[in-house]
Amino acid sequence: MDFEFDATTEDLRARVRDFLDSEITPAEQVFEEQLAGSDDPWAWSSVPVLRELKDKAKTAGLWNLFLPGANGAGLTNLQYAPLAEITGRSFLAPAVFNCSAPDTGNMEVLNEFGSPEQQEQWLKPLLRGEIRSSFAMTEPDVASSDATNISTRIERDGDDYVINGRKWWITGAMNPEAKIFIVMGKTDPSAERHRQQSQILVPRDTPGLEIKRGMEVFGYDDHDHGGHAELAFHDVRVPASNLIAGEGLGFAIAQARLGPGRIHHCMRSIGVAEKAIELMCARADARTAFGKPLSEQGVIRDWIAEARVRVEQLRLLVLKTAWLMDTVGNKGAHTEIQAIKIATPRTVQWILDHAIQLYGAGGLSQDFSLAKAYAGIRTLRFADGPDEVHKASLARRELRRQAEARG
Amino acid sequence: MDFEFDATTEDLRARVRDFLDSEITPAEQVFEEQLAGSDDPWAWSSVPVLRELKDKAKTAGLWNLFLPGANGAGLTNLQYAPLAEITGRSFLAPAVFNCSAPDTGNMEVLNEFGSPEQQEQWLKPLLRGEIRSSFAMTEPDVASSDATNISTRIERDGDDYVINGRKWWITGAMNPEAKIFIVMGKTDPSAERHRQQSQILVPRDTPGLEIKRGMEVFGYDDHDHGGHAELAFHDVRVPASNLIAGEGLGFAIAQARLGPGRIHHCMRSIGVAEKAIELMCARADARTAFGKPLSEQGVIRDWIAEARVRVEQLRLLVLKTAWLMDTVGNKGAHTEIQAIKIATPRTVQWILDHAIQLYGAGGLSQDFSLAKAYAGIRTLRFADGPDEVHKASLARRELRRQAEARG
Amino acid sequence: MDFEFDATTEDLRARVRDFLDSEITPAEQVFEEQLAGSDDPWAWSSVPVLRELKDKAKTAGLWNLFLPGANGAGLTNLQYAPLAEITGRSFLAPAVFNCSAPDTGNMEVLNEFGSPEQQEQWLKPLLRGEIRSSFAMTEPDVASSDATNISTRIERDGDDYVINGRKWWITGAMNPEAKIFIVMGKTDPSAERHRQQSQILVPRDTPGLEIKRGMEVFGYDDHDHGGHAELAFHDVRVPASNLIAGEGLGFAIAQARLGPGRIHHCMRSIGVAEKAIELMCARADARTAFGKPLSEQGVIRDWIAEARVRVEQLRLLVLKTAWLMDTVGNKGAHTEIQAIKIATPRTVQWILDHAIQLYGAGGLSQDFSLAKAYAGIRTLRFADGPDEVHKASLARRELRRQAEARG
Amino acid sequence: MDFEFDATTEDLRARVRDFLDSEITPAEQVFEEQLAGSDDPWAWSSVPVLRELKDKAKTAGLWNLFLPGANGAGLTNLQYAPLAEITGRSFLAPAVFNCSAPDTGNMEVLNEFGSPEQQEQWLKPLLRGEIRSSFAMTEPDVASSDATNISTRIERDGDDYVINGRKWWITGAMNPEAKIFIVMGKTDPSAERHRQQSQILVPRDTPGLEIKRGMEVFGYDDHDHGGHAELAFHDVRVPASNLIAGEGLGFAIAQARLGPGRIHHCMRSIGVAEKAIELMCARADARTAFGKPLSEQGVIRDWIAEARVRVEQLRLLVLKTAWLMDTVGNKGAHTEIQAIKIATPRTVQWILDHAIQLYGAGGLSQDFSLAKAYAGIRTLRFADGPDEVHKASLARRELRRQAEARG
């Protein structure tokens, strides 16, 4: 057992942090201004400063860090995790390094399950950072955490599939550069529970695909990373070759993307938490009330200590999960993957809530990043299924394991 | 001891609830549409349907219910409290009944402390619902919960006062119909700690009063009730007769408005909580996951029970506080006024957070009222001073009381 | 609505408090010493000083205060509740006033459901404070919160009933003066779910009734109020006339005793909480660490404020529940009776835990009453069924109520 | 970074666990019976079965595992930590392996700071498990978490030191085999804050050392591991050579013992938590209420999942702390040593509280280990100083670190 990062990781951590501090953070405001001045508020990925930063990152060799194997940077989950934490410090950073969701998951899926043609057409431009993509799973009318509830139909019709259904909260889809959507639906509702679903590629401009509106999170439309669209599929027809991997494999593919995605989300969230702790400490030192700085008041110190104690425990569990995925695979890391999904958002939410309280009304406003971060983190408590579903599942496994141990 | 409302209250509860259900709730969407179609998104109080509703409410005798005495409906705090709870069920309701903050507090101040001229010029049109007003206390650069930190200057200059300073989070001030501002500042920084401050009337169109921008709460600009402005006062000059009550009385006036305002806020918040519980139950019955309705799942039932258990306790404490204010005055109700300030926002926030979780992503979106309600309630944890300040003060008094009892 | 106690209540509050302070509290240590010196450590109710105090209380007219109607003091639940709170301040007080569980519930049952003979033989000596009693419901082998799980059999055999089964946690039963047991069992396991149970009187000396051992709570055997016995019934035979009210009425009788018992427990618990707050304040003033008294340290003040804010809300809900029982009956107060069962123990436990933390190791020791109080309060989270059962039930009713309101 | 234990650790884990399951757990009841039958209830370490188990453990090479270097098993903190976790599963295990507090800390102190004579006389018999010892620091009259409050005097008088003062909560000291006490007191109250204290060896039979009484924790006197004594020192005279290391070094020695002790306590506590989770699962499977096993009820599953999620995070932080102590020393691990002190007791307390709730009244009784474990864990929230002191200190360091990073 050893808690030190390896040399590759330490080198990359230093370079990513340096790039973040010197290039990305100073560009955040420029990005906001350029986006505010653009014709299409949703076209965030076309903003000039972002394109420049991506070129610089590519040149610096800080590109596709998330992707293992020859097509990516070739890092393990454990090596990438601390880099993801650093990118959590700026809302721009994931995009700059071509490491932002849902493109990362989509690239992983195409890399692992895509046909050569699918890879040529969609994976390559995604890897080059030329286009963006979306993943369309969640539906408005059903509890989508239970995949068997998915009601969108993907029906074979000759050499095509025809898609009908409604989706919402499709992140990034308001951005006109999100050129390709991976859509989850049912090809065979009569099949076994987890073999009914398939995933299929639907280009943005396919007739019948209607992008209805952007959903808001608290009051944010998140146009600065492509929003969250409500979509309607009206007899959307694509060639049968657009199906990924094969009929009935949709659930399995969805499971496969979950593990790495969970690590990424959790580590970025920890980056958010660390930044919030910094902001707390800075404010506590700067403000005086009732005759002494907030940083000398017992209740504030209690919050800061709590934040540190909680985030230290949390990070170790996420890193261990990454290590398990590298050594025994997603399946062997199942419990831990669920555990970090449960533990991370609430911990970071707690820290952000207290940081906001320290900043008073300012903390909820556009003047600091805290309220927006809170909104984003809050969604993670039900993204990929609400915590309650994961807790029930984790407990069921614990009960089974203990029953076996009792013999 | 008796937990039944009196006959007057029961009659008004029925009428207010009936008016709300038959007139206000159906008009909410109309209001949003009319406001969206208006030239000035901040001019919410000019929206036709709102003006019509106000006329109807006035005709129905449901007007200025908050104001005791001859100028208002003449209700006690205890009689008005359950009506305020009902108005918490719709974001439009307080305005329809001319009972919305900060006008209520401003009317109370003018009613109690205003000169006959001040009452003629500003109180009367406010009571008639013709204009709106703001209260400018919070400042961006200091911990404003400590009133001695207030740095805005109000300086005597001949027959005038000249005001300089910055304010923010001035609710309602983005609305062009907010014609009059009550401004808190220091007339004598060298006086005793709580005698330095004064309150003064500043008409909206006074030269030097700059309305800089609207602050956002999470992503909401709250334009549908006038927003929260950042203001700058550059040598703003008003006649000396605009001072309220007298120099050095600003702190005392601010204290006097706190009590009733606290009751109003808390009871409206309880109305928000009740509506959230209704939404929770409706959703829990409507959604099925993993083979049974959410309403039959143990964890969801736990949330619903918790919500009920918490809100029942809370409401009684707010009602008792109202009763104390009526019987022994604000001073005698000091502990309880602080206690409800501490207990209410967090309880309602807890309920809203769980209601949101039940609704999943939808709960954070514009499709339900939950996220917006959450944002509003969250601000109450530091409005009028952060909970932590009130807890420290309440504890100090408890310690003193106990020390006296020990002798 | 009125939050003032009536004149009768205020008079009794003053007299009970005065009697407590002048007579009972000073006698606590004498009682402990006399009990320690007695032959039978379980025979607590025979301790001389307790007998003397009971005589004094009877003379002072402070006797059977819990019992409504002609046989008792004739108080309403709302009148008795604040007296129960005062008795929570001393472990001796309930017994002194002949108001201690489980005698109170047993007397209520006999008063309401007992035959004239049963009343003559058992109720009268209980009312005079001459004997003690126990209520035997909980069983070791089943989840007793679900009354249908009760497995003790009460079988008719000629003119007798024959009882077989095991019970535990039978409070007071280790005391040799607990002369009569009310036993819950099944007379007809094939009847409708809530008509299977009956209650029957079993004198202590009935052959076949084995008192096996005293159960401990945290390390306390609670011999100073009769302990908690494990009992075995081996063919215990009593005359058929010992049955209370009639076969199949056991569940209904159990429900009837719950309401008042809940009020008593909750109000006494609030008395415990108030005493803990006093102890917190006293300690916080007395101890200095790191250069200033604990009472000036922010975190400690936070605890004290929290304790006050929580207990004020809680008390009002218990009082309202008492009022509801008086005005609309147990059935109409069902939700509130469950709510106070859920809210009270955890609130008081929280306060005690923090009081203990303030006292450090001393707080857990025999030198202060805190740890013992904690142990007692902790049991209330599952006495009469665990909180979770009550929450599930309360939520079910809330869901039904809301569904009806939605129409 | 690597989360696998090394081969030595894995080998020892298997052997310790095997010894525990086959030898210690079955002997627990025998021990209780033999102790109950012995003349002196405090003389726990003389119980025959314990002596036998110690001989077996020594023979098996499972002895002094806690002690690094040549005098002990030579393990690192990281190697010993998972063994300590296993010993947390039985109250007997630490003593069997000669790894129980406070002997471990005392042996560490004598090993590192003791003179050759002190080592010969006291360390050797302790290492052989022939005698026991105590550490006397806490005082009844002062907040002992602030070492400068310690008031016991150690005064030089010729070739002797003379000790006067009171101590309490001196663990193990009720046991007549606790032959040697390490006593903390002040040799120079006028010296610099952390140079006033010294530690000195006081044999049990020294005249003037009065062992007054055993303190209780909740209702437990903990006689099965030597209790917690209140001591009085009346002109207790020992040779000057009994001083450890030198005058003024008492605080430094106390700090040195804290790190390893913290790891031991925390890991044993995690063993307690794991056992509690096992008990929860077993009970949840075994009990049925309202028609289905508790293990299928949502709220219970929620508890089990929470327990697992919390304990996984916690263990990793303790292990990392052990690793830090091994690699950068106690000082470099300061933050983490405080963090695990804060995080561990409350996490384990939460788990035990829920396990107790699952067991109902049984959970608080002598029939299961839960209530006793709860009592023990509860003391850790103020042992070595209350959590609040550690949180304040940790926050101060975090604030300083962040201020330096801001530059």
Within 8 A of D218 by CB-CB distance, chain C residues are 218-220, 364, 371-372, 374-375
Residues in chain A with CB shorter than 8 Å from the CB of B138 are 361
Residue A302 touches partner C, C-beta closer than 8 Å: yes
Asked if A298's CB is within 8 angstroms of D1's CB, the reply is: no
> Which chain A residues are within 8 Å of C302, Cβ to Cβ?
298-299, 302
Does the distance separating the beta carbons of C300 and A299 come in below 8 Å? no
Condensed to tens digits (0 to 9), the pLDDT of residues B320-331 reads 999 999 999 999
Pairing of strands B178-186, B132-136: parallel
Check whether B375 has a pLDDT greater than 80.
yes
SS (H, E, C) chain D: CECCCCHHHHHHHHHHHHHHHHHHHHHHHHHHHHHHCCCCCCCHHHCHHHHHHHHHHHHCCCCCCCCCCCCCCCCCHHHHHHHHHHHCCCCCHHHHCCCCCCHHHHHHHHHHHCCHHHHHHHHHHHHCCCCEEEEECCCCCCCCCCHHHCCCEEEEECCEEEEEEEEEEEECCCCCCEEEEEEEEECCCCCCCCCCEEEEEEECCCCCEEEEEECCECCECCHHHCCEEEEEEEEEEEEHHHECCCCCCHHHHHHHHHHHHHHHHHHHHHHHHHHHHHHHHHHHHHCEECCEEHHHCHHHHHHHHHHHHHHHHHHHHHHHHHHHHHHHHHHHCHHHHHHHHHHHHHHHHHHHHHHHHHHCHHHHCCCCCHHHHHHHHHHCCCCCCCHHHHHHHHHHHHHHHHHHHHC
Residues 6+ apart with CB under 8 A from C285: B399, B403, C293, C294, C295
Q: Which pair of structure tokens corresponds to residue C367?
A: 């030198």
Angle among Cα D13, D15, D21 to the nearest 5 degrees reads 100
Q: Does the reported pTM lie above 0.90? A: yes
Is A293 at the interface with chain B, CB within 8 A? no
Instruction: Tell me if B344 sits within 8 A of B319, measured CB to CB.
Output: no
Counting residues of chain B whose pLDDT is more than 90, the rounded percentage is 94
Distance CA D300, CA D286 (A): 13
**Taking 90 as the threshold, does the pLDDT of residue B259 lie above it?**
no
pLDDT digits (tens, 9 = 90+) for B114-156: 999 999 999 999 999 999 999 999 999 887 777 788 999 999 9
> How much is the average pLDDT of B70-97?
97
Q: Do C299 and A300 touch (CB under 8 A)?
A: no
Q: Is C298 on the interface with A (CB under 8 A)?
A: yes
- Note whether D61 and D54 are within 8 A (CB): no
**Residue range D86-114, pLDDT digits in tens:** 999 999 999 999 999 999 999 999 999 99
Tell me the two tokens of residue B55: 């006329």
Mutating which of A299, A300, A302, A358 best tests the C interface, going by the most C Cβ atoms within 10 A? A299
Window 73-112 of A, Cβ < 8 Å to D: 78
Q: For an interface test with C, give the residue of D138, D139, D216 to mutate (most C CBs within 10 A).
A: D216
Structure-token match 């080998």, residue found: D11
Q: How far is D15 from chain A (nearest CA, A)?
A: 18
The pLDDT value recorded for residue C147 is: 76
Residue D407 has pLDDT above 80, yes or no: yes
Chains that touch C (3 or more CB pairs under 8 A): A, B, D
Q: Which of C151, C168, C228, C365 to mutate to test the interface with D (most CBs of D within 10 A)?
A: C365
Q: Is the pLDDT of residue D289 over 90?
A: no
Name chain D contacts of B300, Cβ cutoff 8 Å.
298
pLDDT at site A171: 96
Q: How far is CA B307 from the centre of its chain?
A: 23
Nearest partner of D137 among D191, D185, D197, judged by Cα: D185
C217 to chain B, closest Cα gap in Å: 27
Kindly state the tokens that stand for B384.
């009028």
Q: Measured between beta carbons, which residues in chain D are less than 8 angstroms from residue A390?
A: 305
- Indicate if the pLDDT at residue D313 is higher than 80: yes
Taking the Cβ of residue B300 and every Cβ of chain D, the question of whether any pair is shorter than 8 Å is answered with yes
Measure in Å the smallest separation between the Cα of C298 and chain A Cα atoms. Answer: 5
Query: Any chain D CB within 8 A of the CB of B299?
Result: yes
Higher pLDDT pick, B288 / D370: D370
Say whether residue C375 is in contact with chain D using an 8 A CB cutoff.
yes
CATH 1.10.540.10 fits C7-127, yes or no: yes
Residue D153 Cα, gap to closest chain B Cα (Å): 33
Across residues D360-370, what is the average pLDDT?
96
User: Beta strand C209-214 with C228-239: parallel, antiparallel or unpaired?
Assistant: antiparallel
Neighbours of chain D (3+ CB pairs under 8 A): A, B, C
Q: Is the pLDDT at B267 greater than 80, yes or no?
A: yes
Are A284 and D399 an interchain contact pair (Cβ–Cβ within 8 Å)? yes
Q: Is D147 a residue whose pLDDT tops 80?
A: no
pLDDT at C308: 98
> For residue A346, with 0-12 CB atoms within 10 Å meaning exposed, 13-18 middle and 19 or more buried, which class applies?
middle
Task: Look at residue A132 in the predicted model and tell me its pLDDT.
Answer: 98
What pLDDT is stored for residue B189 in this prediction?
Answer: 95
User: Is it true that the peptide bond before A68 is cis, omega within 30 degrees of 0?
Assistant: no
3-state secondary structure B16-81: HHHHHHHHHHHHHHHHHHHHHCCCCCCCHHHCHHHHHHHHHHHHCCCCCCCCCCCCCCCCCHHHHH
Locus of tokens 């290391």: D245
Judged by a CB distance cut-off of 8 A, whether residue D8 touches chain C is no
The residue of C297, C299, C300 whose CB has the most chain A CBs within 10 angstroms, and thus the best one to mutate to test that interface, is C299
Report pLDDT for D146: 74
Nearest-by-CA chain A residue for D341: A309
Closest CA to A80 of A63, A95, A92, A96: A63
- Prediction ipTM score: 0.96
pLDDT digits (tens, 9 = 90+) for C177-212: 999 999 999 999 999 999 999 999 999 999 999 999
- State whether residue C291 sits within 8 Å of chain A by CB: no
In this complex, do A364 and B217 lie within 8 Å of one another by their Cβ atoms? yes
Q: Count Cβ atoms within 10 A of the Cβ of residue A397 and give its class: 0-12 exposed, 13-18 middle, 19 or more buried.
A: middle
CATH T-level assignment (fold) for domain C132-247: Butyryl-CoA Dehydrogenase, subunit A; domain 2 (2.40.110)
- Which of C288-302, C332-346, D268-282 is the least confident region? C288-302
Assigned CATH topology for domain B251-406: Butyryl-CoA Dehydrogenase, subunit A; domain 3 (1.20.140)
Q: Does the CB of B328 have a partner CB in chain C at under 8 Å?
A: no
The Cα of D299 is separated from the nearest Cα of chain B by a number of Å equal to 5
Mean per-residue pLDDT for D34-49? 96
D149 to C365, D231, D384: CA distances (angstroms):
21, 18, 14
Choose from B294, B299, B354 for mutation: most chain D CBs within 10 A. Answer: B299
Residues of A in contact with D317 (CB under 8 A): 312-313, 316
Please check whether residue C3 touches D, CB under 8 A: no
The domain limits of chain D are: 7-127, 132-248, 251-406
Topology (CATH level 3) of domain A132-248: Butyryl-CoA Dehydrogenase, subunit A; domain 2 (2.40.110)
Provide the pLDDT confidence category of residue C141 given band limits of 50, 70 and 90: confident
- Would you state the pLDDT for residue A90? 97
Answer whether C37 touches A (CB < 8 Å): no
Q: Is the dihedral of CA D344, D345, D351, D352 positive or negative?
A: positive
pLDDT tens-place string over residues C230-243: 999 999 999 999 99
Low-confidence stretches of chain A (pLDDT beneath 50): none
Does the beta carbon of B296 lie under 8 angstroms from any beta carbon of chain D? no
Q: Looking at chain B from residue 192 to 221, which residues have their Cβ under 8 Å from any Cβ of chain A?
A: 215-221
- With beta carbons under 8 A apart, name residues in chain B contacting A217: 219, 361, 364-365, 371
How many angstroms separate the CA atoms of D135 and D110, rounded? 12
Q: How confident is the model at residue C144 (pLDDT cuts 50, 70, 90)?
A: confident
Average pLDDT on D355-363 reads 96
Q: What is the mean pLDDT of residues C248-252?
A: 96
Instruction: For residue range B36-74, list pLDDT tens digits in order.
Output: 999 999 999 999 999 999 999 999 999 999 999 999 999
Q: What's the rounded Cα separation, in Å, for the pair A84 and A63?
A: 12
The predicted-structure confidence for A88-98, as pLDDT tens digits, reads as follows 999 999 999 99
Q: What is the percent of chain C with per-residue pLDDT over 90, rounded to a whole number? A: 94
